[in-house]
Amino acid sequence: MKRIAAVTACIVLAGFGSALATVGGGDINLKNKGGDVVFSHDTHVEGMALACTDCHDKLYLSKGQHKTVTMKQMQKGKSCGTCHNGKKAFSVKGDCAKCHKK
């Protein structure tokens, strides 16, 4: 169930890519059975000094183009797991509470 939550988070993030063209883009609240996820553009863009193009048009194209991704796929480097691999950023494996809030 926690894997489904992370997948849903990534799908929703992909859908908001074109709508959030401003730097930072604000928070995205993702409802999920495994615990809601709040994705912060500010944390990723400003806090981690990422450019919009680090994710958009590579990982997250548009809602229509994005495919469902499971936690297992993320653990293999897909979607959020591209950076959240334990090297670039904390891993998608392990502490679910880092992303999912009950």
Expressed as residue numbers, the domain containing 57 is 2-101
Q: What pLDDT was estimated at residue 87?
A: 94
How many other CB atoms sit within 10 Å of the CB of residue 61?
A: 14
pLDDT in tens, 11-29: 555 555 444 445 557 887 7
pTM beyond 0.85: no
The total number of structural domains that make up the chain: 1
Instruction: Supply the CATH number for residue 35's domain.
Output: 3.90.10.10
Q: What pLDDT was estimated at residue 86?
A: 94
